[in-house]
C-alpha cells in the first residue's frame, strides 16, 4: 500500500455562526485533500490530540451534542479505514479525488430524507401513485417538524425522536388516526431501510416496548345509511342527468362489495371474466395489489350490476374500454391518470352532497365511502359472519373489518335491553 494517512482537525481561521469548521485531511504520496465534515466547534470544545469533542465536565460550555458527535466521528474513522482497505483489497491505486467520492457516497448511506425520496420515486416509477403521495405527505410533515432532516441518518430516528414528533403532531391538533397514518408510513420506511441494510434494529423505535402506533387509533364514526335512506337511493330515479349518473355510481359500488372509487374507475372490459357459474368482475385492490398473498376479488355480475353497466353504456360516454364514466380523457397513464381520478373523486362527492339534498337524506354526509360501509353493515344486519364480510371487503385481517362495523347491531342491543 502506498503511504496514506488522515486527520480530523479544527480550522480556526474562519468562524461561522455554529463555530469553527471541523475538517478531514487525507494525505497520500505527499499530496493532501481537505474536506469539510459539516460539523463545528469552538476551540475549547475540541481535543486536537484525540480528534474528538471534549467531554470533560470540568470544561465550561461543552458542545451540547458532544456524545452523539463523538460516536459519529468514530463511525467516520471506521468508514475511512474500510474505504482504504477496500481500495487495497481490489489493488486500486486510488487518488484523493477517488477517496473523496467514495467517502461522501458512503456517508450518504442511511440518510433518512434521501431514502424517503428514493422510495417515493420508486413508487411513482412503478405506478403506485397513491403510495407515493402517502410517503410524500409524511416526508413533508417530517420536514416541518425537523429542520435538520436533510442531515438525519437512521440511527437518530429513535424512541426519543418519534415521541417528539408525536408531540409536534398533537400541537398541530392532529387526531389520533392522522398521527397513526404518519407513524405507519415512518415505520414502513424504517422497516424497508433495515431490509436494505441502510439502517439497523439497534435504535428501532417501534419494536416491543417501543412507541405504540396502535394506541393512537380512535374509534371512527360509522358511516352507513339506515334502510329507508338506502331504499331512496335504490328506487328514486333522478331527472337531472348528473345526479342520476351519481346515484348509479353509488349503487354500483354498493352492489360490487363496496368497491372503492379508484378501483371502480380503473375497471375495464378485461376485468370481466366468464366462469361456469356466470360472469364475474375480477380485480385486485389498487391499495393492496402488491402485498403478499393478496387474492383477486371476484364479484358475480348480478342482474342489478348488469343493469347498471347497461345503463352506463347506453347513457354516458365511456372512454376506451372503461366500464364506468369516471375516466373522461383517453390516453392518461400513471400519475396523470391517478390525479385525474382524484379530481373526479372530489367532483363525485360534491354531486353526492347535492343528491342527498334532493333525496332529503340527512343521516350523514353522503360520500363514496358510505356505500362501502353501508354494504358491510347490511351484510352484518343479515347475520353474515364477519370472516365472510372481511373477505368480501378484501381485508387482510378482521381488525380492519371491525372499523367498518359496530360492536353490536343496534337491533341486537334493543332486544337485549328488553330483559331489564
Could you tell me if 27 and 6 are in contact, meaning their C-beta atoms sit under 8 angstroms apart?
Answer: yes
Q: What percent of the chain has pLDDT over 70?
A: 91
DSSP string for residues in 359-414: HT--SS---HHHHHHHHHHHHHHTT--HHHHHHHHT-SSHHHHHTTS-SS-HHHHH
Check whether residue 91 and residue 118 sit in a common domain: no
Among 48, 76, 108, the domain-final residue is 108
Check whether residue 361 and residue 248 sit in a common domain: yes
Q: How many CB atoms lie within 10 A of CB 351?
A: 19
Check whether residue 45 and residue 171 sit in a common domain: no
HSE-CB at 176 with a 13 A cutoff on CA atoms is 9
Check whether residue 126 and residue 150 sit in a common domain: yes
Could you tell me if 87 and 94 are in contact, meaning their C-beta atoms sit under 8 angstroms apart?
Answer: yes
Task: Compute the radius of gyration of the chain from its Cα atoms.
Answer: 30
Residue 126 lies in a domain: yes
250-289 confidence digits (pLDDT tens):
999 999 988 999 999 999 999 999 987 789 999 988 777 6
| Residue span of the structural domain in which 117 resides | 112-216
Check whether residue 132 and residue 277 sit in a common domain: no
Question: N- to C-terminal Cα distance for the chain?
Answer: 90
Residue 315 lies in a domain: yes
The predicted pLDDT at position 171 comes to: 95
Measured in degrees and rounded to the nearest 5, phi and psi for residue 202 equal: -60, -45
**What average pLDDT does the chain have?**
87
Check whether residue 210 and residue 339 sit in a common domain: no
Residue 148 lies in a domain: yes
337-379 confidence digits (pLDDT tens):
999 999 999 999 999 999 999 999 987 889 988 988 888 888 8
Report pTM: 0.62
Q: How many CB atoms lie within 10 A of CB 389?
A: 23
C-alpha separations of 304 from 227, 251, 307, 311 in Å: 18, 9, 5, 11
C-alpha separations of 39 from 45, 101, 418 in Å: 12, 19, 73
Check whether residue 202 and residue 287 sit in a common domain: no
Measured in degrees and rounded to the nearest 5, phi and psi for residue 114 equal: -65, -40
Can you tell me whether residue 33 is helix, strand or coil? strand
Give the residue carrying C-alpha cell 459539516.
Answer: 38
Lowest mean pLDDT among 58-62, 323-327, 376-380: 376-380
pLDDT at 408 over 50: no
Distance of CA 95 to the CA centre of its chain: 42
CA dihedral 133, 373, 262, 319 (to 10 degrees): -160
Give the residue carrying C-alpha cell 486527520.
Answer: 7
Residue 221 lies in a domain: no
Q: What percent of the chain has pLDDT over 90?
A: 54
Among 155, 184, 216, the domain-final residue is 216
The predicted pLDDT at position 104 comes to: 78
Residue 222 lies in a domain: no
What average pLDDT does range 3-17 have in this prediction?
85
Check whether residue 147 and residue 294 sit in a common domain: no
Please give the residue that has the higher pLDDT: either 220 or 208.
208
CA–CA gap between residue 274 and residue 27 (Å, rounded): 73
Among 67, 87, 108, the domain-final residue is 108
Q: How many CB atoms lie within 10 A of CB 408?
A: 12
The predicted pLDDT at position 406 comes to: 56
Residue 73 lies in a domain: yes
Lowest mean pLDDT among 33-42, 115-124, 353-362, 384-393: 384-393
CATH number for position 255? 1.10.443.10
Check whether residue 100 and residue 39 sit in a common domain: yes
Check whether residue 287 and residue 385 sit in a common domain: yes
Q: How many CB atoms lie within 10 A of CB 381?
A: 16
What 3 state SS string does 60-109 have?
CCCCCCHHHHHHHHHHHHHHHHHHHHHHHHCCCCCCHHHHHHHHHHHHHC
The predicted pLDDT at position 402 comes to: 72
Please give the residue that has the higher pLDDT: either 335 or 277.
335
Number of domains in the chain: 3
The predicted pLDDT at position 420 comes to: 45
DSSP string for residues in 298-336: EEE--HHHHHHHHHHHHHS---TTBSSS---STT--HHH
What average pLDDT does range 98-124 have in this prediction?
83
pLDDT at 314 over 90: yes
Could you tell me if 71 and 155 are in contact, meaning their C-beta atoms sit under 8 angstroms apart?
Answer: no
The predicted pLDDT at position 414 comes to: 52
Kindly state the cell numbers that stand for 51: 480528534
164-218 confidence digits (pLDDT tens):
999 999 999 999 989 999 999 999 999 999 898 887 777 789 988 889 998 887 7
Can you tell me whether residue 228 is helix, strand or coil? helix
Give the residue carrying C-alpha cell 385486485.
Answer: 284
Helix, strand, coil percent values for the chain (each to nearest 5): 55, 15, 35
Check whether residue 198 and residue 101 sit in a common domain: no
Give the residue carrying C-alpha cell 478531514.
Answer: 24
Lowest mean pLDDT among 128-132, 247-251, 396-400: 396-400
Check whether residue 251 and residue 173 sit in a common domain: no
pLDDT at 412 over 70: no
Residue 133 lies in a domain: yes
Lowest mean pLDDT among 77-91, 253-267, 359-373, 391-405: 391-405
The predicted pLDDT at position 328 comes to: 93
Residue 260 lies in a domain: yes
The predicted pLDDT at position 417 comes to: 47
HSE-CB at 186 with a 13 A cutoff on CA atoms is 28
Per-range mean pLDDT, top range of 121-125, 273-277, 387-391: 121-125
Per-residue confidence at 86, pLDDT binned at 50, 70, 90? confident
Which of these, 272, 250, 270, 276, lies nearest to 261 by C-alpha position?
250
Amino acid at each position: 500500500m502506498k503511504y496514506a494517512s488522515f486527520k480530523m482537525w479544527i480550522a480556526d481561521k474562519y468562524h461561522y455562526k455554529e463555530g469553527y469548521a471541523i475538517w478531514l485531511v487525507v494525505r497520500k504520496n505527499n499530496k493532501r485533500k481537505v474536506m469539510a465534515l459539516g460539523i463545528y466547534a469552538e476551540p475549547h470544545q475540541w481535543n486536537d490530540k484525540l480528534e474528538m469533542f471534549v467531554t470533560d465536565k470540568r470544561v465550561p460550555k461543552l458542545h451540547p451534542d458532544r456524545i452523539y458527535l463523538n460516536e459519529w466521528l468514530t463511525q467516520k474513522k471506521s468508514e475511512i479505514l474500510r474505504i482504504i482497505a477496500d481500495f487495497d483489497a481490489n489493488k486500486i491505486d486510488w487518488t484523493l479525488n477517488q477517496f473523496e467520492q467514495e467517502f461522501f457516497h458512503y456517508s450518504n448511506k442511511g440518510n433518512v430524507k434521501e431514502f424517503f425520496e428514493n422510495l417515493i420515486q420508486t413508487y411513482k416509477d412503478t405506478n403506485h401513485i397513491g403510495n407515493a403521495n402517502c410517503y410524500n405527505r409524511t416526508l413533508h410533515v417530517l420536514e416541518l417538524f425537523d429542520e435538520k432532516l436533510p442531515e438525519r441518518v437512521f440511527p437518530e430516528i429513535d424512541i426519543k425522536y418519534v415521541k417528539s414528533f408525536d408531540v409536534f403532531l398533537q400541537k398541530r391538533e392532529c387526531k389520533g388516526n392522522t398521527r397513526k397514518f404518519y407513524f405507519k408510513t415512518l415505520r414502513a420506511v424504517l422497516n424497508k431501510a433495515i431490509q436494505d441494510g441502510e439502517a439497523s434494529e439497534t435504535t428501532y423505535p417501534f419494536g416491543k416496548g417501543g412507541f405504540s402506533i396502535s394506541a393512537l387509533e380512535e374509534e371512527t364514526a360509522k358511516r352507513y345509511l339506515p334502510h329507508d335512506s338506502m331504499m331512496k337511493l335504490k328506487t328514486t330515479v333522478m331527472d337531472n342527468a348528473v345526479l342520476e349518473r351519481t346515484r348509479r355510481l353509488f349503487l354500483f359500488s354498493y352492489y360490487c362489495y363496496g368497491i372503492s372509487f379508484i378501483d371502480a374507475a380503473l375497471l375495464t372490459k378485461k376485468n370481466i371474466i366468464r366462469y361456469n357459474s356466470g360472469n364475474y368482475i375480477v380485480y385486485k385492490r389498487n391499495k393492496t395489489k402488491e402485498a403478499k398473498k393478496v387474492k383477486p376479488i371476484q364479484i358475480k355480475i348480478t342482474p342489478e350490476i348488469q343493469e347498471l353497466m347497461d345503463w352506463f353504456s347506453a347513457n354516458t360516454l365511456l372512454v376506451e374500454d372503461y366500464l364506468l364514466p369516471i375516466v373522461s380523457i383517453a390516453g392518461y397513464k400513471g400519475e396523470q391518470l391517478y390525479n385525474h381520478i382524484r379530481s373526479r373523486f372530489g367532483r363525485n362527492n360534491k354531486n353526492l352532497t347535492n343528491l342527498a339534498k334532493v333525496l332529503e337524506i340527512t343521516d350523514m354526509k353522503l360520500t363514496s365511502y358510505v356505500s362501502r360501509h353501508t354494504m358491510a353493515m347490511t351484510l352484518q344486519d343479515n347475520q353474515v359472519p364477519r370472516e365472510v364480510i372481511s373477505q368480501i371487503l378484501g381485508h387482510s385481517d378482521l381488525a380492519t373489518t371491525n372499523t367498518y362495523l359496530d360492536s353490536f347491531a343496534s337491533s341486537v342491543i334493543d332486544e337485549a335491553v328488553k330483559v331489564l
